[in-house]
Amino acid sequence: MEIVKIDTAAKTIQKVEDYVAEEKPLHILINKKHYATIMCTPKDLKEMVVGHLLSEGIVKTLEEIREITMKEEGICYVNLKPEINIESRLKLASHIYRIIPSACGGTYTPQILKRLKPVQSAVRVRAETIQDCVKNLNLMAETFRKTGGVHAAAIYKADGTLMAFAEDAGRRNAVDKTIGKCALNNVAFKECFLALSGRLSADMVLKAAKVGIPIIASIAAALDSGIEIAKMANLTLIGFVRGKRMNVYNAPERILLS
């Protein structure tokens, strides 16, 4: 789009073409009933819906989804198998009929925490692998370089093999997209780690814990709420992964120095 760029040092005003990150509503209907409207970057939408349903606990496995149909007008129809009690799942998720802005921070309730199971994984990852993979986010983040308006997330195997990458205006959406991509390709989450650009809040850690990802690493900081959930879920939480340094807030035994 055309913008006006002002440079006070050069004392210039000029009209230029520039890239702007997209944000559009996606309306999700489960069994023909409105579940949520998510503001997101309109790319990898089916994957985002799959990842969102898994990471929010609406479905427990990919097999519970009978069909997903995407419509051009920004509507996604999700058809679950008839034996799934969707009303019960929605009550436990505590997020029914909602609008989710891209910049939101999620919420969690005592009911969700009671049902949170510790992550079971014997995976070990070299510290240098974590550093290299987080650094690679910047190299892969083409939309961020153009617009500066999106977050990036990626899921890697323990040896650093990339399994999924996504960008979105919302950091939660970026994570959901990578989870959905991996789920659709039958990736074993317990053998992987999640790398992202956003801060490590409770909602982000919960998403990883619910699908069994044992390690999260970010360029950004960890919040106390995220650390609390990581401890409850036996999840390795790493923040400020920059250069040759990183801060490990929980379960450092999964990180190897050599």
Beta strand 215-218 pairing with 236-242: parallel
- End-to-end CA gap in the chain: 48
Q: Is 76 a catalytic residue?
A: no
106: exposed, middle or buried (C-beta count within 10 Å: 0-12, 13-18, 19+)? middle
- Asked whether the beta carbons of 156 and 131 are under 8 A apart, the reply is no
Identified catalytic residue from 40, 76, 104, 192: 104
Closest listed residue to residue 70, CA positions, set 97, 90, 54, 50? 50
Q: Which residues lie across from 40 on neighbouring strands?
A: 24
* Sign of the alpha-carbon torsion through 56, 61, 67, 70: positive
Question: Which tokens belong to 106?
Answer: 């999620």
Task: Give the integer Cα–Cα distance in Å for 228 and 250.
Answer: 9
Q: Could you give the 3-state DSSP secondary structure of residue 202?
A: helix
Residue 67, Cβ neighbours under 10 Å: how many? 9
- Asked whether the beta carbons of 230 and 247 are under 8 A apart, the reply is no
- What is Dmax (Cα atoms) for the chain? 67
Active site residues: 104
